[in-house]
Structure 1
């Protein structure tokens, strides 16, 4: 079953705002609602694919269990729809669902398909727990760990685990081992038992918002993501010091986002649903100190940002600005196709050593023009910024703007842009020229131009091409 949805109209004003890397609450809500609908369709498609699969792929006992888990999900949603959907729409459910659907429909089944499909039981249990629904079920630990998405994980023995929930407390039992008791309050699971590890969370970005999970537990947080292929380090677990460092940087992020405009903190509050910690990039000190940093998003994990630990709140805020533009443009592209270019990697991008496909070029330019805007606003509006911080901001602004200027002619010259894509590119060009109204101090532009020129020469030499 296809998960494609019919395109939905976006008001012209909202489309122009998004082209300028902004977007009001109505536009962001439309993107979120469309992505949420796609997730629910994907989950239904997964169940339908299991029912249509041969018995060698999905045996009757496994299909029966999937239907039982689905029934528990439905009961949880009837009890508390918002609580149940907080689990179903959790970003890291997307990579799991895509993985299972691909395994069910594309060739021989993977050996781990039974384990993967069994994760639906954990999702159903987590949704029912957050909804406050009394129930009993039996789950299977992955290795020696039982994962309950968005809640936490219990370190038990391998094999089956009996779960009994009464709406306020969850009891996990396995054979003769001592039971693990977990209290649930407002969707947060905690226990005095050291075998239970809750999902860490950062405080809500804005008053009245939801805490942001800092998820270092979910077994599918990197599944199928090809992290190394995209220049990202692997996932990591956080110790107490690591969590405190993330929290310390996070505490200053909202203020710094607002320096870049109210729309920056608003889009972060609307779009960010979880953070996935990554290990420091290769060559970085084990403490994570130093300039090296990596971050990324995944189209199938809407609302998640994967990131190594930011060095401070300033870099944390810029990481959010950067990655949330990818989130925003990917969601917009799913709602309204922006171009019909092919996927051949042929274009020069000053921020990458390899040739980029047109879509990757558009995505990169969009996030970089947002960064150029953010860093300029920071340089002009950060009243308490030190000289070195303001100098860094101007340097980043000049480099990002120059990088975007190098690729805008390619984007604007494409004959395969849709009318909506043409609006987006034209608004990016307008923003690019508007940024010139407040030039950086002398020297920054010259260094930025030299950087891009050098990047072009290196790219041409590396890729044996004069086409840029």
Structure 2
């Protein structure tokens, strides 16, 4: 059995079966299953011991690193602080040696006091509190049996929790009633500063549907809160919204209410009986029962119960209607009990229309807002750095921009068949579409087409590339450029005649229908598990300051591989702050022709986010410098796509201490930002190779400082631009205080003065 059923990790332990409130929407007391009446009021100590040993045995047999126990009821605080202390002690004593034990309690909080908080703090128990909004909203359902309001007691308890043991506060659980104003509910909960809010659909089935005035009333109610939440910049975690966003991008759900992840939860009642998910009580009397208990059955036996395994089958376990739904990866059929109708759970959720509408709304809004980046991210990037999270924010913005470009109506008009094909592929293989359009030179081509400088046919090649990455079958008339059909991120069909040719993509293989051409798959460079595409074939790659090299020979590719691996190792060892950003965002290396004078050349192109172009330098250290330097341009270009750092109407040019010619403000900003990293490279390098690194550091810190001053006094920066440049100055400031040999500093000053004099003589 162990090898065939998933492990159980979450255990809802009922410690008390009665409640001190009479909430009329409670699934325990107000719905079909009334088994609570035959259970012990408080879980006996011997039952707790048996529960704990069963969980420990299961954790050991399944080699679980951690398990969660949630104290529940009824109202668990009715057990009293001393009894809860005893229960928690027993659980810790038996389970903690087997696995890390994470404990929570879900409570209505009317009894919460300092004594309870001391107990929960002693055992590291996090506290979730049920509250349905402001006074009017909460008292619609959550009252004492005599009708008296519970609101003041609950809010007082939350304030005590925040004041006395704030680290134990895990969040608020709010059951939705659409008669309540959604924004008032949201604002009232937000004022209590919870770390998380969990909005819960009221439990219902097709046999007993929820009250509603329209088919999507619950979606409309939640959608209003979602829009406000986004406008407020997501000031609190809202588990339902977070789960929709996560599942939209292929991550796991945070809630059992949606998502296709297998359930790992079992309920254990006060009599030691194992039950399925507790909310099944809304379906029919006895619905949660398994017929198993802690005294006679192991948790391995529970894991194999049909009612448990039914919630572990992913998409395949859903109804045919759900399996065919475009939002199934987020919805997952909704909460299992909500699917019940006429003795069957093989149905969509009774909230099907609500879930579809809400998920579609959140997905659309999330994708529209993917180009937004938080102020904290901008501040980190302005300092010259930026780790994986910051770069992923930029990547999200670039995907949004590229989607907008390739779905532009002019694109669809020029290539209607390819546009429709991409829409179909996007519905089925969104990840593959994102992978292709993330290729740097797709945007270069798209911008060129919209400006009338590139042909439309490359859209067909992009569709073919998506099909190849997805393993889908596609026949399409591909565009030929310079005798080749290039599929971004996939490869090239070389030696093809004509302006276009029919190709077939099948299970990742690409060929021409007439059998002509030579297939050349894309090649990569690899270092420490990270790979980058060597782009020596894309017809739109020649957009850099220096001319592109032709296709690399095997020997040239081998030299690039050797140098890239060594450069990456050097960055990891000596410049680790830059490595996470490079790993997250550097996707492509484009070889340039060597400069005839022998100097090192490299470049980043404004519309080619993710790509660095370079001619192979003489040593890996120089390649490391070029990668760090040019990726600064890549980052700043993405930032400038989203934010106005300067007034674009300013036509004045400015002195750049490293250029013979005056620069427009964007050019000066780009150079200055990149040279922060250059100065940093030589600052650290001088401890390994003092000559010439010490001289280079002296030169670049002085020139970069001078350029920052020029930017700051340009009177052309926006408010955000002023803050951005100030953060750049903060990074450089301590480097200016680092002592260098007097003669080195004198040489740097003399060189700067000579450069300025030469510039002024030409002006």
Whether these two folds match at TM > 0.5 is yes
1:202 to 525, 547, 563: 525
Distance, in Å, in 1 between the alignment partners of 2:532 and 2:701 is: 31
1:29 to 389, 392, 403: 392
Distance, in Å, in 2 between the alignment partners of 1:297 and 1:72 is: 32
Alpha carbons 1:297, 1:304 under 8 Å: kept: yes
Partner of 1:171: 511
Measured after TM superposition, the shift of residue 259 of structure 1 is 4.1
Task: State the SS of the aligned residue for 1:86.
Answer: helix
Partner of 1:127: 466
Partner of 1:214: 534
Distance, in Å, in 1 between the alignment partners of 2:380 and 2:589 is: 26
Largest Rg, 1 or 2: 2
Measured after TM superposition, the shift of residue 368 of structure 1 is 0.7
Measured after TM superposition, the shift of residue 399 of structure 1 is 1.3
2:634 to 308, 327, 332: 327
Task: State the SS of the aligned residue for 2:403.
Answer: helix
Find out whether 1:77 has 2:417 as its counterpart: no
Distance, in Å, in 2 between the alignment partners of 1:172 and 1:35 is: 32
Partner of 1:243: 557
Render the CA deviation track for 1:266-311: whole Å, top value 9, x for unaligned.
Answer: 1111221211111011323xxxxxxx01111112111111211122
Structure 2 alignment gaps of length 5 or more: 1-367
1:49 to 410, 416, 439: 410
Alignment of 1:2-401 (within 5 A): 10-45=373-408, 48-50=409-411, 63=414, 66-103=415-452, 116-159=455-498, 160-174=500-514, 178=515, 195-203=518-526, 205=527, 207=529, 209=530, 211-222=531-542, 225=543, 227=544, 230=545, 232-284=546-598, 292-340=599-647, 342=649, 344=651, 346-380=653-687, 385=688, 389-401=689-701
Distance, in Å, in 2 between the alignment partners of 1:302 and 1:168 is: 26
Alpha carbons 1:295, 1:306 under 8 Å: kept: yes
Measured after TM superposition, the shift of residue 9 of structure 1 is 6.0
Partner of 1:402: 702
Measured after TM superposition, the shift of residue 370 of structure 1 is 1.6
In structure 2, relative to structure 1, the CA distance for the partners of 1:299 and 1:343 (3 Å cut) is farther
TM-score under structure 2 normalisation?
0.49
Measured after TM superposition, the shift of residue 93 of structure 1 is 0.6
In structure 2, relative to structure 1, the CA distance for the partners of 1:258 and 1:345 (3 Å cut) is farther
In structure 2, relative to structure 1, the CA distance for the partners of 1:414 and 1:126 (3 Å cut) is same
Distance, in Å, in 1 between the alignment partners of 2:742 and 2:573 is: 23
In structure 2, relative to structure 1, the CA distance for the partners of 1:342 and 1:353 (3 Å cut) is farther
Distance, in Å, in 2 between the alignment partners of 1:129 and 1:146 is: 14
Whose relative contact order is higher, 1 or 2, with alpha carbons under 8 Å and at least 6 apart?
1
Task: State the SS of the aligned residue for 1:139.
Answer: strand
Distance, in Å, in 1 between the alignment partners of 2:664 and 2:508 is: 51
Distance, in Å, in 1 between the alignment partners of 2:726 and 2:480 is: 52
TM-score under structure 1 normalisation?
0.78
Distance, in Å, in 1 between the alignment partners of 2:431 and 2:694 is: 43
In structure 2, relative to structure 1, the CA distance for the partners of 1:362 and 1:295 (3 Å cut) is same
Partner of 1:287: none
Render the CA deviation track for 1:383-420: whole Å, top value 9, x for unaligned.
Answer: xx4xxx33232222111111112222211113332222
Q: How many residues align?
A: 395
In structure 2, relative to structure 1, the CA distance for the partners of 1:30 and 1:241 (3 Å cut) is same
Task: State the SS of the aligned residue for 2:440.
Answer: coil
Distance, in Å, in 2 between the alignment partners of 1:129 and 1:26 is: 29
Distance, in Å, in 1 between the alignment partners of 2:551 and 2:507 is: 30
Measured after TM superposition, the shift of residue 129 of structure 1 is 0.6
Partner of 1:189: none
Distance, in Å, in 2 between the alignment partners of 1:247 and 1:310 is: 12
In structure 2, relative to structure 1, the CA distance for the partners of 1:133 and 1:7 (3 Å cut) is closer
